Chain A
Amino acid sequence: GENVEQHPSTLSVQEGDSAVIKCTYSDSASNYFPWYKQELGKRPQLIIDIRSNVGEKKDQRIAVTLNKTAKHFSLHITETQPEDSAVYFCAASTGSTDKLIFGTGTRLQVFP
């Protein structure tokens, strides 16, 4: 069935460094790839998304890249700050439906 794999499961970086989280998906019909940030005890919130008609999208310090041939996409955070510390989830749509399959999450810690 549909599957989204996410790596790494934990990531620790120094403030100011970059962080990269990678995901792969199995459904070749997937066409929508959002990223969610979940702070401790809070709800997941969308931070950036990309659709299959583009290869890269950037919003200030965060960017997402998509390689449809290889079926993987990545989140890049530059100039990390302590407030970036959270769990990040990637997700992929399943074919033509609105169903999103989430990756297992990456716990990012940014040390001052």
Chain B
Amino acid sequence: DAGVIQSPRHEVTEMGQEVTLRCKPISGHNSLFWYRQTMMRGLELLIYFNNNVPIDDSGMPEDRFSAKMPNASFSTLKIQPSEPRDSAVYFCASSFGENGELFFGEGSRLTVL
């Protein structure tokens, strides 16, 4: 398996633009997580899905952020409109079973100017 695949790896956009980050979890994994990493706040859990259903979105900063998982092999994290403070590395991760090992993608580095 190629592991968790994220795209794009890098995104530079201007304030106010819509940003869509994509993730393909490891085949067979039933949980998917979106994390945001910044120097100031470390690794923050934004939202996680189990069997494609959102379980906990308490970490989503505000209404500008939304996430979907239409099927077991694809998820998106959307920011609309984007702001400079959204600049961060966004990691997608997947796991299997209860407290299974979390496998991270390589991350999407977002810069909002």
Contact = CB atoms under 8 A, between A and B. Distances in A.
13 contacts: A34-B102, A42-B106, A44-B43, A97-B56, A98-B48, A98-B50, A98-B98, A98-B100, A99-B33, A99-B55, A102-B42, A102-B45, A105-B42
A46 B100 CA distance: 11
Contacts of A101: 45
Interface string A70-98: 00000000000000000001000100011
A15 B113 CA distance: 41
A93 B98 CA distance: 10
Grouping DSSP codes into helix (H, G, I), strand (E, B) and loop, the B interface class, with mixed when no group exceeds half, is: strand
Interface of B: 31, 33, 35, 42-43, 45, 48, 50, 55-56, 91, 95, 98-102, 104-107
A98 B93 CA distance: 12
Contact of A97 (B43, B55, B107): B55
Contacts of A43: 91, 104-107
- Which 7 residue pairs are nearest across A and B when measured between Cβ atoms? A32-B99, A43-B104, A102-B43, A104-B42, A98-B31, A46-B101, A44-B104
Given A98-B50, A102-B43, A104-B42, 17 more contacts: A32-B99, A34-B101, A34-B102, A44-B104, A46-B102, A51-B99, A89-B42, A89-B43, A93-B99, A97-B55, A97-B56, A98-B48, A98-B98, A98-B99, A100-B33, A102-B35, A105-B43
Contact of A49 (B31, B98, B101, B105): B101
A43 B102 CA distance: 11
Interface size class of A (residues with CB under 8 A): 20 to 34
Nearest to A1: B58
A94 to B, nearest CB: 9
Nearest to B95: A98
Contacts of A34: 101-102
Contacts of A46: 101-102
Contacts of A67: none
